[in-house]
Structure 1
Amino acid sequence: MLTGKQRRYLRALGTGIDPIFQIGKGGLNENLIKQLSDALEARELIKVKVLSNSDEDPREAGNEIVSAINAELVQVIGRNILLFRRSEKKPQIELP
């Protein structure tokens, strides 16, 4: 569980990154969730965009991803989801 200070720090880091995954009309599937998990292990902080042609609600999609891969939902703004999970092999981000 992230504190408010940690969440604020991660939001600041997240402003400079572009979404690396997009959820389209196919929605969430096992393959996408596996790829998200692998990306979080490598990067720790990723941004996901829910496209306008998707039936998924960004907040619900974020909660579904978080419960599936044991990550933290940092922020949902519009159709963008910011996710964080500490890397088990090579932690890079130091939380305050």
Structure 2
Amino acid sequence: MELSEAQKKRLRRAHDLHPIVMIGQHGLKPTVLEEISSALDHHQLIKIKLSVGDRELRDDMVEQLTQYSQSQLIQRVGNIAVLYRRNPDKPDILKESV
């Protein structure tokens, strides 16, 4: 499901969230990918801190994260990325954020 810009704007409330997952010098390990997927199942909207390399490497990692977790990038500012994936078993946070 592709989100509209208006929906993404409503989800940018993640500014107040603390990063749930922090990716450091060891990069994307399978355990990190599993943790991100689990966090998306539970929270639907998560903030990730990428403390690695340069901008191009962070862009590549964010792309890998969204593909692996089947999530959507809501926002990326510097080394912080916000991902969203709807969990049909939980209340839709997109509707709650209106």
Give the TM-score taking structure 1 as reference length: 0.88
Q: Secondary structure at the match of 1:42?
A: helix
1: CA distance between counterparts of 2:27 and 2:21?
Answer: 12
Q: Encode CA deviations 1:41-69: one digit per residue, 9 max, x unaligned.
A: 00000000011xx2363222111100011
Write the distance in 1 (CA, Å) between the matches of 2:21 and 2:69: 15
CA deviation profile, 1:23-81 (whole Å, cap 9, x unmatched): 10000011101110000000000000011xx2363222111100011001111100000
- Consecutive unaligned residues of structure 1, counting only runs of 5 or more, are none
Deviation at 1:8, TM superposition (A): 0.5
TM-score normalised by length of structure 2: 0.86
Q: Residue 94 of structure 2 aligns to a residue in which SS?
A: coil
Structure 1 residue 94: Cα displacement: 2.9
Q: Which letter does structure 2 place at the counterpart of 1:2?
A: L
- Matched with 2:79 is 79
Q: How many residues align?
A: 93
Structure 1 residue aligned with 2:6: 5
The answer to whether the Cα contact below 8 Å between 1:73 and 1:84 also exists between their aligned partners in 2 is yes
Structure 2 unpaired stretches of 5+: none
Ranges of 4+ aligned residues in structure 1 off by more than 3 Å: none
Percent sequence identity over matched residues? Answer: 28
Q: Give the Cα–Cα distance (whole angstroms) in 1 for the partners of residues 8 and 94 of structure 2.
A: 12
| Cα deviation 1:4-31 (Å, max 9, x = unaligned) | 00011111x1111011111100000111
